[in-house]
């Protein structure tokens, strides 16, 4: 945080995301990276609603769209490899069928 201007910058992000059994890790990683960037940009927004409850950020011209320079210099994201949900009924059925 720059105490004179009020500007802030995220320096580092560490994400370990459980997607279950990933069908396409490249697509999943893209979704994780995009979602985290959007969440960070969204958390920095101010004055989203006016006093009458009207949305003030209704178009790209009225809010700051995240850009490449908003991504922190150190961005560590991984997919949790052991992310198998044992409670998933479809997964459980496939597991029990494959054991027969």
Residue closest to 64 by CA, chosen among 31, 33, 40: 40
Known catalytic membership, residue 87: yes
* Residue in 33, 74, 81, 87 annotated catalytic: 87
Residue closest to 39 by CA, chosen among 12, 68, 74, 66: 66
Question: Strands 12-17, 74-79: parallel, antiparallel or unpaired by DSSP?
Answer: parallel
State the catalytic residues: 87
């Amino acid at each position: 945080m720059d105490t004179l201007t009020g500007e802030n910058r995220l320096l580092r992000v560490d994400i370990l995301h459980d997607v279950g059994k990933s069908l396409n890790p490249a697509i999943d990683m893209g979704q994780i990276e995009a979602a985290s960037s959007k969440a960070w940009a969204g958390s920095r927004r101010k004055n989203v609603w006016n006093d009458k409850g009207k949305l003030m950020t209704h178009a790209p011209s009225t809010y700051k769209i995240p850009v490449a320079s908003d991504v922190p210099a150190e961005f560590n994201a991984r997919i949790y490899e052991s992310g198998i949900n044992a409670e998933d009924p479809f997964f459980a059925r496939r597991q029990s069928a494959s054991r027969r």
